[in-house]
Structure 1
Amino acid sequence: MQKLALFLCILFFLMAFPVKAADHEKDEQMYKERMELFEKMEAATTIPWYYFAGIDQYERSLRFIRKDLPEPDTISIYIPESKWAGPLNPNQKDKNPATIAAFQGVGIDGNGDGKADRLNGEDVLAAIGRYLTTYGTDHDNIKIALWRYYGRDKAVSIVVGNAKMYKAFGKLDLQQKVFPLPRRFNYTFKNTWGDARGWGGRRIHEGTDIFADYSVPVRSTSYGIVEMKGWNRYGGWRVGIRDINNTYHYYAHLNGFAKDLKLGEAVKPGTVIGGVGSTGYGPPGTSGKFPPHLHYGMYKDNGRTEWSFDPYPHLRQWERAGS
């Protein structure tokens, strides 16, 4: 029986490994194709590739969580038919560049096949590139163009943050994750998301508490942009980092911040951002009202609103990965 169990385990491993290898190769090919398109648009418009990548990744994250948008493709920027063909165009599926232009649609032919196809990634990027260049190719004018396009400050900040990460790390694959505490330290945690909280009014616990000794290093779990750093009467000294998938990672009750941590900084998995503490539940400087621990929360933005979700399964996954 033991030999049979061992044989089945080995067989399962051998069967699973090629699947993972194939998935990895598929992802690598997708990143390569996307980067080629972004760099082609940079050559055509002089707008750096990472702005196109930032826009595409922002919309990719929306399409993964919004049921009113189609699933993401190689290029995931979604332009509605009425915007592409022109709001008064009687043919909302028009692919003729001339009639689209006559009806003031944004659609253009980006790959030279004579068609302006809103489902073709190269045509979509070319349309976005032309739109951006009408405002200018420098950073400030690109931000203005993005605000006019999305009409939402948070959307602009997320796109710009994505672009900053791509520029800083020079690659599209920024999906790596690690556990927030180094594995060599003692810690314990359980699923506490959704539990009732009474201090400061009735509310739910929007995270997982990881108990550890004072000053155990707290690390960024992902690539991301430091969006928030400061004090909150509930969370004490806290840091907020938004990753490339538009997930906001919240670290609270810190004993302080890493010396060189700055707002707007691009960080990578494993970057130390502070230490475990027991700050909060009072005015700035309050500490010691509870045992030292890291409160770790995760939030998702769908382009309209932001909400908390349970980080516990992710923490367990990163812990098992041994990072």
Structure 2
Amino acid sequence: MKKKYLALLILLLLVPFTKVNAEEINPIKERLALYKKTATITQIPWFYFAAIDQYERQIREDEPLISISFSGEEWYGISNLSEDSRLAAIGVHNGIGKDGNNDGLAEINNSEDILYTMAMYIMNFGVTDDAIRKALWAFYQKPLAVKTIVQNARIFALFKTNDLPERAFPLPQHFNYSYRSTWGDARGYGGRRIHEGTDIFADYGTPVRATTYATIEIKGWNRYGGWRIGMRDINNVYHYFAHLSGFEQGIEIGEIVKPGDVVGYVGSSGYGPPGTSGKFPPHLHYGMYKDNGKNEWAFDPYPSLRKWERQ
């Protein structure tokens, strides 16, 4: 018996150990390969698949390789009570599930089948940008969802990748500034309310920078925030920059920005009609708002600011 165990041990030692390369199992690169494969088959640009998948990843609690989801009734057909994934059965029951890997099955949790099914859904409307927008509206029935996906598709297309992890602190670190956690502090102008952000105090004219890859959605005057800019990033987060003294030249609604791009300058505008300034010391009010597909809510940006400051 001992000889058998010894022989087994020797055999195990002789079997070469295969080291798994982290790059080989990088889910971001694996997703990109799947997007491009589906794009090649369907002629729908890969960045639309990336944007749809990215949007859904932010509204799901789990994180599968591909986050696009369909209800069982949509996928299998409302009368397919056994959820038979054979293509013939799905067709009989008028389901939309498709076979993306040619195995004869349309599996609701298979990444290739999911992407191919979404592609076929879109192709019912066409493959032009306008047709894809119509398909997105029919699928989501939510203006913000459609806008977010289209904006993110433009970002992925511009930078030619879905791997965009970089972030930046909103003020250049060689400028003087100070801040602390002011989330939830009381504010009185316009009625009692809580402070939904972090105030970063700095001199007039200090450059204000984009913190992430995003699309400018709002630019102009607000009686609370003064001159302000709002932008939405690829993670369904809206970033709000307020009390500016002015905007960077060329920054307009619809423009795409990347981390570190200057978008405006620190000021003390706000709390009154357009042009009101000087009612408080100059600072940047920075706020963050998360969208989950159903609701949008403010959350404390202080932890993110501390993290970006150390990068």
2-side partners of 1:304 and 1:37: how far apart? Answer: 28
Contact kept, 8 Å, 1:175 with 1:244, in 2: the verdict is: no
Report the alpha carbon displacement of residue 26 of structure 1 after superposing the two structures with TM. Answer: 5.5
Partner of 1:293: 283
Report the alpha carbon displacement of residue 27 of structure 1 after superposing the two structures with TM. Answer: 9.1
Counterpart check, 1:36 vs 2:33? yes
1-side partners of 2:246 and 2:270: how far apart? Answer: 12
Contact kept, 8 Å, 1:230 with 1:239, in 2: the verdict is: yes
2-side partners of 1:259 and 1:303: how far apart? Answer: 33
2-side partners of 1:74 and 1:127: how far apart? Answer: 16
Q: 1:227 to 1:28 in 2, by over 3 A?
A: farther
Given candidates 291, 304, 317, the residue that maps to 2:294 is: 304
Secondary structure class of the residue paired with 2:40: helix
Partner of 2:66: 75
- Cα deviations by residue, 1:130-181 (Å, 9 ceiling, x for unpaired): 0000001011111111011001000000111110110111111112111000
2-side partners of 1:266 and 1:94: how far apart? Answer: 44
Equivalent runs, 1:159-174 vs 2, <5 Å: 159-174=149-164
Moved more, 31-40 or 209-218: 31-40
Secondary structure class of the residue paired with 2:26: helix
Which runs of structure 1 show a deviation greater than 3 angstroms over 4 or more consecutive aligned residues?
24-28
Secondary structure class of the residue paired with 2:112: helix
Equivalent runs, 1:168-317 vs 2, <5 Å: 168-317=158-307
2-side partners of 1:178 and 1:201: how far apart? Answer: 33
2-side partners of 1:270 and 1:124: how far apart? Answer: 36
Counterpart check, 1:53 vs 2:50? yes
TM-score (norm 2): 0.91
Moved more, 207-216 or 95-104: 95-104
Report the alpha carbon displacement of residue 80 of structure 1 after superposing the two structures with TM. Answer: 1.5
Structure 1 counterpart of 2:188, one-letter code:
G
Report the alpha carbon displacement of residue 239 of structure 1 after superposing the two structures with TM. Answer: 0.7
Secondary structure class of the residue paired with 2:173: coil
Given candidates 118, 136, 150, the residue that maps to 1:146 is: 136
TM-score (norm 1): 0.88
Moved more, 26-35 or 204-213: 26-35
1-side partners of 2:92 and 2:223: how far apart? Answer: 57
What is the Cα-based RMSD across aligned positions, in Å?
A: 1.5
Partner of 2:88: 98
Report the alpha carbon displacement of residue 28 of structure 1 after superposing the two structures with TM. Answer: 7.2
2-side partners of 1:225 and 1:187: how far apart? Answer: 26
Secondary structure class of the residue paired with 1:193: coil
Secondary structure class of the residue paired with 2:234: coil
Structure 2 counterpart of 1:276, one-letter code:
V
1-side partners of 2:157 and 2:121: how far apart? Answer: 21
Moved more, 209-218 or 104-113: 104-113
Q: 1:191 to 1:273 in 2, by over 3 A?
A: same
Report the alpha carbon displacement of residue 273 of structure 1 after superposing the two structures with TM. Answer: 0.3
Partner of 1:6: none
